[in-house]
Amino acid sequence: MMETNRPEVLAEVWAAYRRYEDALLAADAATLDDLFWRDGRTIRYGADEILYGHPAIAAFNARRRLNPERVLVDTVVTSYGADFATASTLFTDVPDGRIGRQMQSWVRMPDGWRVVAAHVSVIDRPKEIGR
């Protein structure tokens, strides 16, 4: 039976996720590029873009701007076994009445944890946000 949320695996994924978020705030394209799997099968669906493959994601990251106003809400990281995890969060640096959503699939690769798929979207804020 697969074990979820093994403490040592969660700690590793949280560290990689924090590194990603720090790079996002700083518009650190090199770190963001490093954290995405360098493969043509990597996918990032963004709020305004659909990106297939690491080269397209890297080109997008090169255009990033500083984002110190980003605030995360209700971040959940879940590991499945030793080599796969998801990270889901809401973010608030969007127009009033809206909420941002971000989900990532992380896989342990030989060189560390990498994002293999990501989805970012912005929707009207629901009346209730809860688990």
Give the predicted TM-score (pTM) of the model: 0.93
The CATH number linked to 16 is 3.10.450.50
In a domain, 53, yes or no: yes
In a domain, 130, yes or no: no
Among 122, 3, 23, 13, smallest CA distance to 75 is for 13
In a domain, 88, yes or no: yes
Domains identified in the chain, total number = 1
- DSSP one-letter string for 88-113: EEEE--S-TTEEEEEEEEEEEETTEE
In a domain, 78, yes or no: yes
- CA triplet 115, 129, 87: central angle to 5 degrees? 15
Q: Tokens for 72?
A: 């995360």
- How sure is the predictor about 130, in pLDDT bands with cuts at 50, 70 and 90? low
In a domain, 13, yes or no: yes
In a domain, 131, yes or no: no
- How sure is the predictor about 95, in pLDDT bands with cuts at 50, 70 and 90? confident
Q: State whether residue 126 is helix, strand or coil.
A: coil
pLDDT value, residue 51:
98
pLDDT, tens digit, for every residue of 29-40? Answer: 999 999 999 999
Domain extent, residue 31, equals: 7-124
- How sure is the predictor about 96, in pLDDT bands with cuts at 50, 70 and 90? confident
Number of Cβ within 10 Å of residue 57's Cβ equals: 23
Quick check: 68 pLDDT over 90?
A: no
In a domain, 2, yes or no: no
In a domain, 129, yes or no: no
